[in-house]
Chains A and B, each alone.
Chain A
Amino acid sequence: MIRVSKNPSIDTTAKLAVVSVAMFAFVFVVMVPLYNVLCDALGINGKTDGTQYTSVPVAVDESRTITVQFVATNNEGMPWEFGPSVTAMKVHPGAVNDTVFFARNPLSKDMVAQAIPSISPSRAVKYFHKTECFCFNQQPLEANTDAEMPLQFIVDQDLPTDIQTITLSYTIFDVTDAVNGSVAAR
């Protein structure tokens, strides 16, 4: 190929410009999804995948008893009363368990909340299945009302035997502004 009087620097520049645009895109289309995939796959940060689990019928393992503890935290500035109805349950792997969390909106305005779960130890994430959880959806509450929010879960039979206690922690966030379309108070 003969390129008479064409400046090779233009070529180099074009290629490098493509690289920098590609790196910008890389952050959005690779790094973010990859991070989420890795967190799900490895159970890092105790992040649960937030999706419903369809149970496979299996025998309940009555020989083991696992203590499941419930922790509820309000994110900074979130005024709701929020907590588990019981703070701990003793369950058998494979059994379907039900409990409820309690929430009350003490303010005189309607609000929407989102609970985000986290499990400790993080190795237990893969073995803790939620078949029904209030965290799958946002929870609206009108002014001065309360609600019981259901949670149904199964501890997997394959849970490593050295884990005897699992802590399920929920942090509740105020997402009223985001839901109503008006972006945060700025």
Chain B
Amino acid sequence: MGDHHHGPAKGLSRWLFTTNHKDIGTMYLWFSFAMFILGGAFAMIIRAELFQPGMQLVEPAFFNQMTTLHGLIMVFGAIMPSFVGLANWMIPMMIGAPDMALPRMNNWSFWILPPAFLILASTLFMEGGAPAFGWTFYAPLSTTYAPPSVTYFIFSIHVLGLSSIMGSINIIATVMNMRAPGMTYMKMPLFVWTWLITAFLLVAVMPVLAGAVTMMLMDIHFGTSFFSAAGGGDPVLFQHIFWFFGHPEVYIIILPAFGVVSQIIPAFSRKPLFGYASMVYATAAIAFLSFIVWAHHMYTVGMPIAGELFFMYATMLIAVPTGVKVFNWITTMWRGSMTFETPMLFSIGFLVLFTIGGFTGLMLSIAPADFQYHDSYFVVAHFHYVMVAGAVFSMTAAVYYWLPKWCGRMYNETMGKTHFWISFIGFNVTFFPQHFVGLAGMPRRIPDYALQFADFNMMSSIGAFIYGASQILFLYNVIATIVAGKPTSEEKVWDGAEGLEWTVATPAPYHTFETPPAVR
């Protein structure tokens, strides 16, 4: 590691050829934000169409393309890469490593991502339009009835899957081999722990997703019949394979968010995290359980009753480790000297709203009740509470929390708090009414709806525009900070923050921990 001191290269080649974890983390973060805006624009089209009953703006076929691309881009383009970016920036600094274990592969795993999404987005302009079968791409919608662009979709899933696998192998190799002397596993910050476990989940299930799309490819082009009943296959098999990937996937999204919140809440409560060890074990338990609950997404396909019961009880079991986490966060805040800077506001927002999403998840886990909720807006409300108020809120909190360390400038606190409150209100106005219309029977993924849902849908749409607009404020605040924020050179930007990342200079130099720090 005898590298001499040198700064970043100049110009475009710095970004193309960089192997620096901070550069790559930055690129991941900007890329995911761009995808967040793109996926958000698609969501705005969806909500504009649903502003009033009847067909208003777009064709039903285009509406389906929007719901599909919104889901795919938000899950694979925005949320996942944003947390990978955060991992790149923070994990080496948190464990006292000079860089990621495999810097060259790190560069590759980022740079194959933009082409993958370019291919996916370009399907919009192809004959037959973009994929329109929902982000879950159930066969035979995605095989027999798919538009020709499905082949490009499959290729882009392969590439982004490869990127995720490479990224997670890198993270595991870094955490296992690059920790500073004295940094035992049980001393690692919780963000590192949650990412280590997430990375194992990714290595285990992204290949399963690759397998599913490969089977689709073979069914479409090579005459196999994995998912075609005519040839002895079964479309239900697709759902099993997809959700065997898909359920761990939702924990891949939320576990790093848990990690972020576990860093921020202690910092602004000025108390160590309550129940560190139980947090680690709860994370591992959630990861394990995620592999044995997949069929709760498909209660209505006609499973034997024993299967329904098994998946129902196993799913409910997840509430236990998740509850441990929620109570630990609350207990951390209990009698702490709390202050409410923007990262803390977003973390508390996460805690409240994620818990609501968790409860609706419990409702959905009840097999007999799920037959009513299935494929309704109740499901849409549920997963947006965990995906947006869960993952996106915590990601936003992370940006506000570490941005001063990254660029050596403070963001505008008033603007940050404004961003939080507009987001919080906009989010709830958007998604809370969707619980009601869902329970009343409004199906998801349909461009029109019955008249009795009109008022709630108009509320939802107004909320969505507010939430969408608040992200522009966020973008402005971040850029304003980088360009002209109040400079700070305090190592510990937040007085309650703990961890190795707060021992390096502010802004974080291009190379950190070239000699490993001593960990007590």
B237 touches A178 (CB 8 A): no
B169 touches A24 (CB 8 A): no
**Given A20-B165, A24-B210, A45-B302 in contact, is the A12-B176 Cβ separation under 8 Å?**
yes
Partner of A35, one of B168, B173, B203, B237: B237
B234 touches A13 (CB 8 A): no
Does B102 have its Cβ within 8 Å of any Cβ on chain A?
A: yes
Per the bound structure, the CA–CA distance linking A163 and B212 in Å amounts to 38
**Given A8-B177, A35-B237, A45-B302 in contact, is the A27-B211 Cβ separation under 8 Å?**
yes
Does B183 have its Cβ within 8 Å of any Cβ on chain A?
A: no
Closest to A171 in B: B229
Query: Which residues of A in the span 89-106 have a Cβ within 8 Å of any Cβ on B?
Result: none
B203 touches A19 (CB 8 A): yes
**Given A23-B207, A27-B211, A183-B222 in contact, is the A13-B232 Cβ separation under 8 Å?**
no
Does B101 have its Cβ within 8 Å of any Cβ on chain A?
A: yes
Does B461 have its Cβ within 8 Å of any Cβ on chain A?
A: no
Binary B-proximity of A1-20 (CB < 8 A = 1, otherwise 0): 00000011100110011011
Per the bound structure, the CA–CA distance linking A39 and B237 in Å amounts to 10
Across the interface, which residues of A come within 8 angstroms of B165, CB to CB? 20
Does B304 have its Cβ within 8 Å of any Cβ on chain A?
A: yes
Across the interface, which residues of A come within 8 angstroms of B144, CB to CB? 184
Classify chain B: how many residues form its interface, as a range. Answer: 35 or more
Closest Cβ of chain B to A42, distance in Å, is: 6
Query: Which residues of A in the span 77-126 have a Cβ within 8 Å of any Cβ on B?
Result: 114, 116, 122
Does A147 have its Cβ within 8 Å of any Cβ on chain B?
A: no
A20 touches B211 (CB 8 A): no
Closest Cβ of chain B to A25, distance in Å, is: 8
Closest Cβ of chain B to A77, distance in Å, is: 10
A183 touches B173 (CB 8 A): no
Per the bound structure, the CA–CA distance linking A178 and B207 in Å amounts to 28
Across the interface, which residues of B come within 8 angstroms of A174, CB to CB? 230
A27 touches B241 (CB 8 A): yes
**Given A19-B204, A35-B240 in contact, is the A27-B169 Cβ separation under 8 Å?**
no
B234 touches A9 (CB 8 A): no
Does B236 have its Cβ within 8 Å of any Cβ on chain A?
A: yes
Does B174 have its Cβ within 8 Å of any Cβ on chain A?
A: yes
Partner of A31, one of B176, B206, B244: B244
A20 touches B178 (CB 8 A): no
Across the interface, which residues of A come within 8 angstroms of B250, CB to CB? none
B223 touches A178 (CB 8 A): yes
Closest to B175 in A: A12
Per the bound structure, the CA–CA distance linking A175 and B144 in Å amounts to 13
CB within 8 Å: A-B pair count: 111
**Given A23-B208, A39-B234 in contact, is the A9-B178 Cβ separation under 8 Å?**
yes
Closest to A179 in B: B223
Partner of A12, one of B101, B232, B302, B303: B101
A116 touches B207 (CB 8 A): no
Closest Cβ of chain A to B232, distance in Å, is: 7
Per the bound structure, the CA–CA distance linking A186 and B216 in Å amounts to 14
Per the bound structure, the CA–CA distance linking A178 and B206 in Å amounts to 30
Closest to A42 in B: B304
Per the bound structure, the CA–CA distance linking A7 and B211 in Å amounts to 31
Does B286 have its Cβ within 8 Å of any Cβ on chain A?
A: no
**Given A28-B211, A178-B223, A178-B231 in contact, is the A44-B178 Cβ separation under 8 Å?**
no
Across the interface, which residues of B come within 8 angstroms of A32, CB to CB? 215, 226, 237
Does A173 have its Cβ within 8 Å of any Cβ on chain B?
A: yes
Per the bound structure, the CA–CA distance linking A173 and B172 in Å amounts to 48
Does B220 have its Cβ within 8 Å of any Cβ on chain A?
A: yes
Closest Cβ of chain A to B239, distance in Å, is: 11
A21 touches B207 (CB 8 A): yes
A16 touches B208 (CB 8 A): no
Closest Cβ of chain A to B1, distance in Å, is: 10
Per the bound structure, the CA–CA distance linking A24 and B215 in Å amounts to 11
Does A129 have its Cβ within 8 Å of any Cβ on chain B?
A: no
Does B287 have its Cβ within 8 Å of any Cβ on chain A?
A: no
Does B148 have its Cβ within 8 Å of any Cβ on chain A?
A: yes
Across the interface, which residues of A come within 8 angstroms of B177, CB to CB? 7-9, 12
Per the bound structure, the CA–CA distance linking A79 and B337 in Å amounts to 75
**Given A9-B101, A44-B302, A186-B221 in contact, is the A26-B236 Cβ separation under 8 Å?**
no
Closest Cβ of chain A to B163, distance in Å, is: 12
Closest Cβ of chain A to B429, distance in Å, is: 41
Per the bound structure, the CA–CA distance linking A174 and B177 in Å amounts to 57
Across the interface, which residues of A come within 8 angstroms of B304, CB to CB? 42, 44, 122
Partner of A186, one of B148, B178, B225, B240: B148
Across the interface, which residues of A come within 8 angstroms of B303, CB to CB? 44
Across the interface, which residues of B come within 8 angstroms of A19, CB to CB? 203-204
Does B205 have its Cβ within 8 Å of any Cβ on chain A?
A: yes
A184 touches B102 (CB 8 A): no
Closest Cβ of chain A to B292, distance in Å, is: 14
Query: Which residues of A in the span 135-186 have a Cβ within 8 Å of any Cβ on B?
Result: 171, 173-175, 178, 181, 183-184, 186
Does A47 have its Cβ within 8 Å of any Cβ on chain B?
A: yes
B223 touches A45 (CB 8 A): no
Closest Cβ of chain A to B261, distance in Å, is: 27
Does A55 have its Cβ within 8 Å of any Cβ on chain B?
A: no
A114 touches B230 (CB 8 A): yes
A175 touches B230 (CB 8 A): yes
**Given A12-B101, A114-B230 in contact, is the A31-B241 Cβ separation under 8 Å?**
yes
If A8-B177, A122-B304, A184-B220 are given as contacts, then 10 extra A-B residue pairs at C-beta distance below 8 Å, sorted by A number, are A9-B174, A12-B101, A13-B173, A16-B169, A20-B169, A23-B203, A23-B205, A28-B211, A31-B237, A39-B234
Question: Closest 3 CB pairs between A and B?
Answer: A27-B211, A173-B230, A9-B101
Residues in chain A within 8 A of chain B (CB atoms): 7-9, 12-13, 16-17, 19-24, 26-28, 31-32, 35-36, 39, 42, 44-45, 47, 50, 75, 114, 116, 122, 171, 173-175, 178, 181, 183-184, 186
Sampled A-B contacts (30; CB under 8 Å): A8-B176, A9-B101, A9-B173, A12-B172, A12-B176, A12-B177, A17-B169, A19-B203, A20-B165, A20-B206, A23-B203, A23-B204, A23-B211, A24-B207, A24-B210, A26-B207, A26-B208, A26-B211, A27-B215, A31-B241, A36-B234, A42-B304, A44-B302, A116-B229, A173-B230, A174-B230, A184-B220, A186-B148, A186-B220, A186-B221
